[in-house]
Amino acid sequence: MDRINMTIPELHHGKKIREFLKDQMKLSSRLIKRSAMDGRIHVNGGRVRLDYILREGDEIDVLLDAEEVQHIEPEDIPIEVIYEDASMLVLSKDPGMVVHPTKSYQSGTLANAAIHHFRAKGEPTIVRLVSRLDMDTSGLIILAKNQFIHSRMSDLMQEDKVDKWYLSVVRGDFPDDIERIDLPIFRDPDGPYQRVIDERGQRSITEVSVLERANGYSLLRLKLLTGRTHQIRVHLSHLGFPVLGDTLYGTGSDMISRQALHAHELMFSHPMTGDNLDLKAPLKQDMAELLKKIGFRTEA
The residues annotated with a catalytic role in the active site are: 134
Query: Cα-flanking dihedrals φ and ψ of residue 127, to 5°?
Result: -80, 120
Contact 35, 50 (CB under 8 A): no
C-alpha 101/C-alpha 135 separation (Å) is 12
CA distances from 6 to 24, 45, 59, 67 (A): 12, 12, 6, 23
Query: Cα-flanking dihedrals φ and ψ of residue 171, to 5°?
Result: -80, 135
Q: Count of residues for the chain?
A: 300
Residue type, 44: N
The counts of H helices and E strands in the chain are 6, 16
Contact 9, 19 (CB under 8 A): no
Query: Cα-flanking dihedrals φ and ψ of residue 80, to 5°?
Result: -105, 105
**β-strand pairing of 205-214 with 217-224:** antiparallel
Question: How far apart are the two ends of the chain, measured CA to CA in Å?
Answer: 37
C-alpha 238/C-alpha 246 separation (Å) is 13
262 forms bridges with which residues in the sheet? Answer: 138, 167
- Side-chain-facing half-sphere of 70: CA atoms under 13 Å: 20
Contact 142, 92 (CB under 8 A): no
